[in-house]
Amino acid sequence: MHGSPLSKYDNRDIWGKYNYKSLGITAEPYFDLDFNDVFYITDTGRKWDGASVSIRDKQSVKQPAEVSLHL
């Protein structure tokens, strides 16, 4: 979905739990626009070599963190 189209998560799913109109959001393009009536152009920002400049919620881990469980 938006921002990371190959992600297993779809950011539209949040609106199954929350009502965006009750939060003051007038419209959600995926739900409220008829794309037969609207010519929509977007810049996807995709690049063949964009991994080094496309920073998401990535963390670089040099060594695994130690985890301990206390019962």
Share of the chain above pLDDT 90, in %: 14
**Tokens representing residue 35 in the block:** 């794309």
Cα torsion angle, 58, 63, 64, 68, sign? negative
1 pLDDT higher than 60: no
**What is the value of pTM for the model shown?**
0.46
